[in-house]
Amino acid sequence: MLSDGLAWIGVHSSADASAVLPGMLGGISLTCARGVDADEFLIALGADLDELADRTPCKDLVVPVRRRGDRSPHVNRAMYGACGDWVYVLEDWGMATWAAGYRAVPSMRPAPGEEFVCVTMNAWSPPRSVVHAPGDGRVWQAEFGEDTGQGSVLDVALRAAGAVFPAIGEVGETVLAAHYEEYGPGLPGAVFTAVGAYCGLSVDQGAVQAGDLPAVLLPMV
């Protein structure tokens, strides 16, 4: 496994998504899926078949400039790759397409045997969240600082990484505020560390920042 893990995504989560980068670094949302074909998953998210077949590196992918009166769907870059049993998608436009669309878009709904783990930044609609579809057709969600409450292996990983903070009913408002002040800045890194540990997933920071991974344009849901 690569040494990069996923913590670096969380560490840079509060950085601006830099338009000058050929790839991505700040504000990245992550969606991981297994039990699904990689290309079929990207098509379900809205990827164009021809564009997907081209395997264009993110650094060479041209995002169309929208002009006044243009009614075509707004599109965003999505970089993707595979690690072990998982296909992963990285997006830096503010949230994850899958998290935004799985409730309303039939092709994105998790079917039995298909597992999804998503960390979405929800830049325009906080809070930041972890979404888990464990493969039984159900979907669980937790805000940063919480677990899903299902006692799952993912919940165990979140707790082990320090990504689950005490509840206000357990410690009181003053203690909780102090906890967030001390540990809050490291919370995104802890969340991504937990997801990486659960999925056995590592993503090369250098390749992502340089835009070397393949990418497609996904329509905004």
Domain boundaries, the chain: 7-219
In angstroms, the CA 144 to CA 135 distance is 22
pLDDT at 66 over 70: no
Q: Looking at residue 156, what is its pLDDT?
A: 98
Give strand pairing partners of 41.
none
Q: Taking a C-beta distance cutoff of 8 angstroms, is the pair 120, 144 a contact? A: no
Q: What is the pLDDT of residue 77?
A: 94
E strand intervals along 9-159: 29-34, 75-83, 86-91, 115-120, 129-133, 140-143
User: How open is the CA angle 89-194-112, to the nearest 5 degrees?
Assistant: 60
pTM for this prediction? 0.92
Number of residues assigned to the chain: 221
Digit-coded pLDDT (tens) for 76-109? 999 999 999 999 999 999 999 999 999 999 999 9
Place of tokens 């079917």: 111
Mean pLDDT of the chain: 91
Q: Is the pLDDT of residue 113 over 80?
A: yes
